[in-house]
Structure 1
């Protein structure tokens, strides 16, 4: 029996692959770490994982994180002397219809953009790598030579051994009974064997994480789902170097195992498990096989590998695993509780993620920040709807069922809807709104007119909403458009030190008089952009801050944690109290003048001003700004007035051709104007100087990240944001590879279409060692790789659209 230490810098709870990897990396960083496992290592869900290790994801940084796993697994056995079962036998992905082949070719472009070698193969070339399969229905395939597979238990035990070698203490058969928290600060971990004083805990308890975290007010939205696979007897022709195989059109995956095959898949009708709670004593445990449920997968598999029909089944495994509402895992420090870190919800790719996730989580714990932008898996991407486990289970079931379905551009989920509705939901629904959803909010994506089908029809070509969005886009450019943006996250920062606090957190000048509006970034210590917000000063001691719908939790956490100690300033979330109507376009002022007696002339209400006006009896905080590149106002008002103001604007706007418009038009408008989007072009790894936003950062007074920013001001960034145009029939979605004079120099962060300029538009970073000067950027000849085809492109560092000069040249 191992005695517990009385103190530790960090305690990791959970001895699966994520917990052991985190402990391994913490120990490598010199952190005094203890890992506690209530039973034996791997006894949760790790021991029954299938063990496929793929790397490519839609995010460059998550792909890098999975690539780190591969690099770690390459050297781990030699380092520890503990077998891992790891082999780089490559990964093969099939396409059996034209749409899937388009998806696979675009994935190959994404892989190229992220520096991975994904090779496109003919059916016969794929069969040479995987001779057992029938390829009569295969159109093409993609092969990633650096993918592989591992033995989940062995690789976890190897990580544990490496952790011990680096100084970590791992204690099994030790149940954590609770945490000690005093005045909001973690002080210790209580166990059945005693207490460990510690300021930080890392909860890596797999499917048990949600319930444990909930005890301390921390929300971890994951649920358990049954996941089945089978292991065959020996099959002639199965060699140890057989690549892993993913056959998404048949919903199945395959890997070699001791001369036989492992085959599993993702059913369209998944089965949630432990809805009433995980049974006590569930360890090294499996569920009863559900042959009837698995039969649908088996039927599809037989068509791919005919030998399966005459091969014996050695075993069938049905084990519960934790899945999340968006199919991504969960990492990071909980916004509800400082010092409480989470690594959980790995959606059946915990082995692939384990090495990289443990590295990233360890850095986050030890250094206070992740090694790079991890927004797709950040725990702060969740919000209010994700606290309802029934809602989470419904959405997660849909995400599980879509694991191998087509990943359509702009695809929306349908489960758990509608949840959060704008006070104008009924009005805009009657006017033809086709809704999308973000953070539980129903938001109008576009508006259908008579004769148009009011639903999304997904494709990799021109979607059915293209004409409607063009109509809305042109209305905004030529007349006026009204956008319901009530889902904006909205905060009040109040207190006598509000100005001083916000001046430290924000890089822009927020110290102006009441009535001034500031667009600003909030930077980390490296100068990267952690938030991109608008701040309206309401009074000497109060600011109104708005940010994107999806960033509500994250930005609130960043701002509230950023208030310097000792300052008297409080942040309050007021999102649900107010509606937002954005009136944009050259006729916006004429419309507004008809519904208010307040002076909204250019002289009386200049750009960058914030003032309360009255419309239809409603007090409206009008913000003079635009994300569309046209004159306009965001109108923020109490929710109970929303319908009256909406009706008044439409009545006055009828003579000015006012049209309702949705979020997809906002995207096309902002691309033409070159406006940046957080999570797209900008984020924690991007500085304002790289993104062309240096003008928004003040130079005189201190703010967080200023030192890093100023140190970089005298040099030319090696990486800079540029805008690209391509022929109008090109469909740009983001992640297309940028080539300059035939050399790969970057990839698009976002893509779309400019309905005013009549061209495809993409924004992305280009890189040049020694400095990406304007002359270098503009002096090259560019092409974009779109699904394997090289498309000629033009580059500019200026907006494509300007009201006074329609098409600006470089």
Structure 2
């Protein structure tokens, strides 16, 4: 046996499929001084009892790409290492048994087409030809993905481990982590049962124990364990080795072939948490006691689909705990609490499908210092303060598990763990008909029901029940005045004598503007992609106020903290909880303010893109004159103790102007008309300012250095490979949600990044990147084509736009 090392470049904790895949890819990238330690034997946690289905399609293009990387790796791994993997590309079937599910599947087919993934819609009879054992009496239709498949979890992990060793990595079993030594904000030593290992980087791939491993060093990994059962049958006549995997979400079940029999499992609506009080000692290669009573609900549903199960012999009912997360997505990336401490865990029972690709991107992340492409849906930085409490995490995770096979409705909100984070106005707004959504634990008003209206969301793929309410709020903002409670914004302060120099280095925007200026300040990565979408106000020569989106609170703070030059005197603080935010928007916004303050809020006295502290109804208010809805307006950042007073005063002063409350869904419809992009969908780390039409915000004049400058200078001299554009559809009944496929002159050129409805122009609106990667494109190319959108497999004509669809100053529709 190899001598146990005293130092290594990278130490990976955990010998399941994620840990071995990360070691394999790190070694292939040249990180040969990589050590993987496993406290018992490889696969002994949850990998050994995984079902092994490998599906690829997700609602995000990059996560779909990641899962596709798994397939590419599994196709060649056995040939590379000489060890069998059990990989079979036998395709995957997905059934729809009602009209709503069939609509979802058709939209998924559009999504697959958008992302370049082959997916075919089948009749029930065509589906049965691929899966002869099933009863199709209730099937409406099906989808087939020919490149999906299945693998043997233990075999594929063993093959990855051999590949890692072949490329220089070392693997040590029966080695337990007992602690960590931290110096200067990073782990320098991993303490183990066989001695310490000095290292530069730690990768926590400990599966359902990842939260405990992280806690040893103050890192929060929001996952919990849930019991997950599946049944293995004896041989069944008619089950062939090339039988596709089958997902039957309306019956909550999945199937795959195994040794001539079937594996059948599912996701019940009443999941059972495990290890609530802590993990048993030495829980290795162990299963939980089979719970036939709990599994009976799935068995009854399965018998209706596969009648042969009624007489099939049962080999085993496997009950194996797996790690699940609050949003159903896995966890990758560098933890915000430490430098050089990465996490790859929480795979929600699709770790085999994700393993190859997740290990690849995590290795590339470690080597390159940033993810190879935008992985924000799975980045650990998506979590926030609400994810610190394991009881809250467990409640939300159990809800997410129970929804694994329910229809993924547009605009669907979670119910568990609510309300948690509340604005001081929560009760006032609720009493006025507010219907709240939740983001990062914050309760945020989505829309306001009028008296007699049902103050709840009715989910549908068609016209939502809140459409008229949002139209009222939209119209009031365009024609009168509205108040939006945006207290959930993330807010930071940067102070110090070198604050200007520090911000100038990390931001592509001009941070040298005078005190009182507001600047749109995108932060770029080394590729020139937009990492942070921020508004920055200059409070003094040594202080800046920074506003970020709710969901970006952890990510944006982490980006700034890691990239602000350490040698400079600039100190970053999170002040989100100090301020409530009321956005006063609409043509009559100034008239309302003038009734409540003696400060000059005229256009000359308070120009656009400036901020000032004003006295408003007795409160000191930091007022930012800007808008995300296109109308005259101010964001009022109010110390929380004054928030209720200011709100009451605004509503009283605005009564003569017909002031209304408005919610986030109206913000969405308004910004779509004005052509303002949404961070996380329309813009992000994979998109440069030039591609997204934000070149005006970048300080390329002069020679001031900033992160991403070199990449932008290179890209400025080359043709664009993609360009963000707006699209409208004349038929108001068409529902655009995002991910609809874009066709130009009959050729697939991209997909919508966001979609909705513009109530002023009376049309559906979408935004998306027109792509021409081979030859490049310009505005003339974008505007010259004939466009169509694939909406749930139906082509609809669309008009393309590179300018706003509505001019609020002229009160003119431009679409």
TM-score normalised according to structure 1 size = 0.99
Separation in structure 2 between the aligned mates of residue 523 and residue 62 of structure 1, nearest angstrom: 21
Structure 1 segment 146-161 matched on structure 2, within 5 A: 146-161=147-162
CA apart distance, 1:425: 0.5
Report what 1:130 is aligned to: 131
Report what 1:751 is aligned to: 755
What secondary structure sits across from 2:595 in the alignment?
A: helix
Report what 2:732 is aligned to: 728
Report what 2:280 is aligned to: 279
Pair 1:199 & 2:203 matched? no
Separation in structure 2 between the aligned mates of residue 746 and residue 182 of structure 1, nearest angstrom: 47
Report what 1:484 is aligned to: 485
Report what 2:247 is aligned to: 246
What secondary structure sits across from 1:715 in the alignment?
A: coil
Separation in structure 1 between the aligned mates of residue 186 and residue 798 of structure 2, nearest angstrom: 54
Question: Given the alignment, which residue of 792, 795, 800 partners 1:790?
Answer: 795
The answer to whether the 8 Å contact 1:735/1:750 transfers is: yes
Structure 1 segment 70-219 matched on structure 2, within 5 A: 70-219=71-220
What secondary structure sits across from 2:94 in the alignment?
A: strand
Separation in structure 2 between the aligned mates of residue 516 and residue 775 of structure 1, nearest angstrom: 35
The answer to whether the 8 Å contact 1:483/1:662 transfers is: yes
Report what 1:676 is aligned to: 677
Pair 1:761 & 2:765 matched? yes
Deviations 1:434-467 (A, max 9, x none): 0000010000000000111000000000000011
Separation in structure 2 between the aligned mates of residue 58 and residue 806 of structure 1, nearest angstrom: 36
What secondary structure sits across from 1:592 in the alignment?
A: helix
Q: Higher mean Cα deviation, 52-61 or 512-521?
A: 512-521
The answer to whether the 8 Å contact 2:470/2:666 transfers is: yes
CA apart distance, 1:6: 2.1
CA apart distance, 1:565: 2.3
Deviations 1:536-567 (A, max 9, x none): 01111111100100110000000111111211
Separation in structure 2 between the aligned mates of residue 584 and residue 182 of structure 1, nearest angstrom: 49
Report what 1:800 is aligned to: 805
Pair 1:385 & 2:386 matched? yes
Separation in structure 1 between the aligned mates of residue 170 and residue 338 of structure 2, nearest angstrom: 25
Separation in structure 2 between the aligned mates of residue 730 and residue 346 of structure 1, nearest angstrom: 35
The answer to whether the 8 Å contact 1:798/1:808 transfers is: no
Separation in structure 1 between the aligned mates of residue 436 and residue 2 of structure 2, nearest angstrom: 57
Separation in structure 2 between the aligned mates of residue 808 and residue 160 of structure 1, nearest angstrom: 61
Separation in structure 2 between the aligned mates of residue 500 and residue 171 of structure 1, nearest angstrom: 47
What secondary structure sits across from 1:698 in the alignment?
A: coil
Q: Higher mean Cα deviation, 413-422 or 714-723?
A: 714-723
Separation in structure 2 between the aligned mates of residue 287 and residue 714 of structure 1, nearest angstrom: 61
Report what 1:352 is aligned to: 353
Report what 1:449 is aligned to: 450
CA apart distance, 1:512: 1.3
4+ long deviations beyond 2 Å:
804-810
Report what 1:25 is aligned to: 25
CA apart distance, 1:212: 1.3
Report what 2:592 is aligned to: 591
Structure 1 segment 337-348 matched on structure 2, within 5 A: 337-348=338-349
Unpaired runs of 5+ residues, structure 2, are: none
The answer to whether the 8 Å contact 1:757/1:807 transfers is: no
The answer to whether the 8 Å contact 1:56/1:63 transfers is: yes
Separation in structure 2 between the aligned mates of residue 455 and residue 39 of structure 1, nearest angstrom: 50
Separation in structure 1 between the aligned mates of residue 592 and residue 566 of structure 2, nearest angstrom: 46
CA apart distance, 1:644: 0.5
What secondary structure sits across from 2:522 in the alignment?
A: strand
Structure 1 segment 347-496 matched on structure 2, within 5 A: 347-496=348-497
The answer to whether the 8 Å contact 2:186/2:341 transfers is: no
Separation in structure 2 between the aligned mates of residue 687 and residue 515 of structure 1, nearest angstrom: 28
CA apart distance, 1:256: 0.2
Report what 2:11 is aligned to: 11
Separation in structure 2 between the aligned mates of residue 78 and residue 809 of structure 1, nearest angstrom: 59
Report what 1:578 is aligned to: 579
CA apart distance, 1:677: 1.2
Separation in structure 2 between the aligned mates of residue 586 and residue 789 of structure 1, nearest angstrom: 39
CA apart distance, 1:710: 1.3
What secondary structure sits across from 1:776 in the alignment?
A: helix
What secondary structure sits across from 1:716 in the alignment?
A: coil
Deviations 1:493-531 (A, max 9, x none): 011111110011111111112111111100001100000
The answer to whether the 8 Å contact 2:761/2:813 transfers is: no
The answer to whether the 8 Å contact 2:40/2:174 transfers is: yes
The answer to whether the 8 Å contact 1:235/1:259 transfers is: yes
Separation in structure 2 between the aligned mates of residue 710 and residue 264 of structure 1, nearest angstrom: 53
Q: Higher mean Cα deviation, 712-721 or 643-652?
A: 712-721
Report what 1:740 is aligned to: 744
The answer to whether the 8 Å contact 1:223/1:392 transfers is: yes
CA apart distance, 1:183: 2.9
Report what 2:550 is aligned to: 549
Pair 1:713 & 2:716 matched? yes
Separation in structure 2 between the aligned mates of residue 330 and residue 741 of structure 1, nearest angstrom: 40
Pair 1:225 & 2:226 matched? yes
Separation in structure 1 between the aligned mates of residue 710 and residue 813 of structure 2, nearest angstrom: 34
CA apart distance, 1:308: 0.2
Aligned-residue RMSD, C-alpha: 0.8
Separation in structure 1 between the aligned mates of residue 667 and residue 186 of structure 2, nearest angstrom: 42
Q: Higher mean Cα deviation, 800-809 or 92-101?
A: 800-809
Q: 1:733 to 1:506 in 2, by over 3 A?
A: same
Separation in structure 2 between the aligned mates of residue 677 and residue 531 of structure 1, nearest angstrom: 12
Separation in structure 1 between the aligned mates of residue 216 and residue 193 of structure 2, nearest angstrom: 17
Separation in structure 1 between the aligned mates of residue 695 and residue 282 of structure 2, nearest angstrom: 57
Deviations 1:361-399 (A, max 9, x none): 101111101111000000000000100000000000000
Deviations 1:246-297 (A, max 9, x none): 0000000000000000000000000000000011100000000000000000
What secondary structure sits across from 1:709 in the alignment?
A: helix
What secondary structure sits across from 1:720 in the alignment?
A: strand
CA apart distance, 1:214: 1.1
Question: Given the alignment, which residue of 774, 778, 785 partners 1:780?
Answer: 785
Pair 1:500 & 2:520 matched? no
Deviations 1:142-193 (A, max 9, x none): 0000000000000000000000001100111111111111232321111111
Report what 1:652 is aligned to: 653
Q: 1:806 to 1:88 in 2, by over 3 A?
A: farther
Separation in structure 1 between the aligned mates of residue 803 and residue 737 of structure 2, nearest angstrom: 21
Structure 1 segment 614-625 matched on structure 2, within 5 A: 614-625=615-626
The answer to whether the 8 Å contact 1:507/1:521 transfers is: yes
What secondary structure sits across from 2:781 in the alignment?
A: helix
CA apart distance, 1:807: 5.0
The answer to whether the 8 Å contact 1:796/1:809 transfers is: no
What secondary structure sits across from 2:281 in the alignment?
A: coil
Separation in structure 1 between the aligned mates of residue 368 and residue 813 of structure 2, nearest angstrom: 44
CA apart distance, 1:809: 5.0
What secondary structure sits across from 1:153 in the alignment?
A: helix
The answer to whether the 8 Å contact 1:627/1:675 transfers is: yes
Separation in structure 2 between the aligned mates of residue 184 and residue 150 of structure 1, nearest angstrom: 40
Deviations 1:388-447 (A, max 9, x none): 000000000000000000100000000000000001111111111000000100000000
Separation in structure 2 between the aligned mates of residue 151 and residue 724 of structure 1, nearest angstrom: 45
What secondary structure sits across from 2:319 in the alignment?
A: strand
Structure 1 segment 692-703 matched on structure 2, within 5 A: 692-699=693-700, 700=702, 701-703=704-706
The answer to whether the 8 Å contact 2:806/2:814 transfers is: no
